[in-house]
Amino acid sequence: MLAPDTLIHNRYRIVRLMGEGGMGTVYEAIDERLGYSVALKQTLVGGPAPMEHTFEREAQQLARLRHPALPVVSDFFTDEAGQFLVTSFVPGDDLAKQLAVRGKAFFLEQMLRWADELLDVLEYLHSRQTPVLHRDIKPQNLKVGKRGELILLDLGLVKDSPLPTSHARGVSSGFGYTPLEQIQGEGTDPRSDLYALAATLYHLATNHPPADALRRASYLARRQPDPLRPPREINPLLPFTFANLLIAALSLDPAGRPSSAQAMRFAMYEERTGKAKALPILQPAVERTMPIVEKAAAKPKRQSQLITALPEPTQPLPHVATRSKNKPIWYLWMAGATLAIILFGGGAWWLAA
C-alpha cells in the first residue's frame, strides 16, 4: 500500500486510498504536471515480460474507449512500484456508501434509469471489435456524476487476454456479485457481466445483497432450495416483470440469463415504459458515444397491420355522379316561366284597358 504524499512516476502524488479489489488498489492522486485530481490504479498482475506486454496492450485499448458512463484513461506506466493506470477522477460517494447512509432501497424509477445507462455502456463494451468485459460490477464501482449520470468505475481486462480468468478478478471484494463461472475460473463472457449487474440491482432494489453464487451452488448440489430470496419477498413494491428479470439474470447457468446487454435492456425498457421496443440495427461501437436513455425505437407493426400497395386497375373506375354544390338548373326554368306569365298577364290587361 502506498502512503499519502508518495510521488509516483515523478508526476502523481498520492492523496488517499480509495479502494481495493481483486485486480489492484485505487488511489486518489494529484497530477502535478497538470494540477488536477486523477484516479491512480495499481494493478496486482505483474512479473514476466509477456504479462507486461499484455498490460500495455490492454491499457492502450482501454484508452480508446469513449462513453459518458466511463472514466477516460489518460496514462499508464510501469515502474518499481508496479503497473499503474491513470483515469479521470469522479468525486463523491459510491452507491454502496449511499445505500448504507440511506438505509433503504432506492426508488424504482431511479434504478430503472441507472439500469438503462449501465446496459447501454455494457452494450458498447461488449460490441466492440475486441470485446471488453468489466468483470467487477458492484455498488462500490458505481458513482453518480454531477449531472445525475451513472459512472462505471474500475474497468477490467479485455476479453482476448491470455491471462487465466482466475487471475483476472476470479475472486474480488465484490464476491457476492461475481458469477459462478468466474469464481471457478471456467471462463467469462458478456453474460457474466449481466449476472453482476443483476446482483447489483438486486442489492439496490432490496437493500439486501443477494446470496453469493458459491453458496447457492452448494445448496443446489445438496438438493436444497436456492438460498436466493425472490426480490419481491423483500420489497413487495417491485413490479413482477422487473423482479423476474433479475432472477433470470442471476441464473447460475449462463444459458439461463438474457443473451446480451441489448436484450436485457429491451426488457428493462418495456418495464419502464409499458411499451415494446423494436430491435434497432446496431451502429459500429466506435460511433456510439452517447447513451440512449429516453429515446426509443419505433414500435414494430404486426403483420396484420401492414398495408401493401394496391395494384393499378385494369379498367377505368365507373363514374359516380355527385351532387353539384350550385343550385339545380330547374330553379332557373321556374323563375323564367313565372316571369313570362306575369308579363303575359300584364300585357293582356293593358290591351283590354
Please write the tens of the pLDDT for every residue from 146-157: 888 999 998 865
120 is catalytic: no
> Can you read off the three cell numbers belonging to residue 135?
468483470
Kindly list the distances between the CA atom of residue 192 and the CA atoms of 132, 142, 154, 244, in Å, as whole numbers in the listed order.
12, 17, 16, 18
Is residue 205's pLDDT more than 70?
Answer: yes
Output the average pLDDT for the chain.
79
Is residue 50's pLDDT more than 50?
Answer: yes
Predicted confidence at residue 293, as pLDDT, reads 37
SS3 (DSSP) at 13: strand
Q: Assign residue 283 a region: left if phi > 0, alpha if psi is -120 to 50, beta otherwise?
A: beta
- Cα angle for residues 127, 178, 201 (degrees, 5° grid): 75
Q: What is the CATH number of domain 1-89?
A: 3.30.200.20
Mean pLDDT, residues 207-212 taken together: 96
Write the CB contacts of 333 (distance below 8 Å, at least 6 apart in sequence): none
- In eight-state DSSP terms, residue 94 is B
- In eight-state DSSP terms, residue 313 is P
Which phi and psi angles does 179 have, rounded to 5°?
-70, 160
Is residue 195's pLDDT more than 60?
Answer: yes
- Cell 400497395 -> residue: 309
Please write the tens of the pLDDT for every residue from 291-350: 333 444 444 444 434 333 334 444 444 444 444 444 455 556 676 777 767 766 666 666
The whole-model pTM stands at 0.72
Predicted confidence at residue 37, as pLDDT, reads 96
Predicted confidence at residue 56, as pLDDT, reads 86
How many of the other CB atoms lie within 10 Å of CB of 117? 23
**DSSP letters of 165-193?**
TTTTTSS-TTGGGS-HHHHTTS---HHHH
d(CA 51, CA 162): 9
Mean pLDDT, residues 200-221 taken together: 96
Radius of gyration of the chain (CA): 35
Predicted confidence at residue 306, as pLDDT, reads 34
Predicted confidence at residue 128, as pLDDT, reads 93
The residue that leads in pLDDT, 277 or 36, is 36
Mean pLDDT, residues 189-213 taken together: 96
Let me know if the fold of 1-89 is the same as that of 92-301: no
Predicted confidence at residue 34, as pLDDT, reads 94
SS3 (DSSP) at 300: coil
Read off the pLDDT band of 234 (50, 70, 90). Answer: very high
d(CA 142, CA 151): 6
Beta-bridge partner residues of 14: 29
Please write the tens of the pLDDT for every residue from 148-183: 899 999 886 554 443 344 343 444 446 789 999 999
- pLDDT-above-70 percentage for the chain: 69
d(CA 258, CA 236): 24
Kindly list the distances between the CA atom of residue 141 and the CA atoms of 59, 103, 145, 197, 318, in Å, as whole numbers in the listed order.
19, 19, 13, 11, 74
Tell whether the torsion through CA atoms of 68, 25, 158 and 173 is positive or negative.
Answer: negative
The fold adopted by the segment(s) 92-301 is Transferase(Phosphotransferase); domain 1 (1.10.510)
- pLDDT-above-90 percentage for the chain: 55
Read off the pLDDT band of 43 (50, 70, 90). Answer: confident
Predicted confidence at residue 270, as pLDDT, reads 74
> Can you read off the three cell numbers belonging to residue 322?
355527385
Q: Where are the alpha helices (DSSP H) in the chain?
A: 49-63, 95-102, 108-126, 180-183, 190-206, 213-221, 231-234, 240-249, 261-273, 330-352
Question: Strand 24-31 relative to strand 12-20: parallel, antiparallel, unpaired?
Answer: antiparallel
Q: Is 29 within 8 Å of 40 (Cβ atoms)?
A: yes
d(CA 69, CA 90): 11
d(CA 92, CA 98): 10
Predicted confidence at residue 288, as pLDDT, reads 36
Give the distance from CA 154 to its chain's centroid: 17
Predicted confidence at residue 24, as pLDDT, reads 79
Q: Per the residue annotation, which of 136, 154, 193, 212 is the catalytic one?
A: 136
List the domain boundaries for the chain. 1-89, 92-301
H or E segment to which residue 36 belongs: strand 36-43
Q: Is 140 within 8 Å of 94 (Cβ atoms)?
A: yes
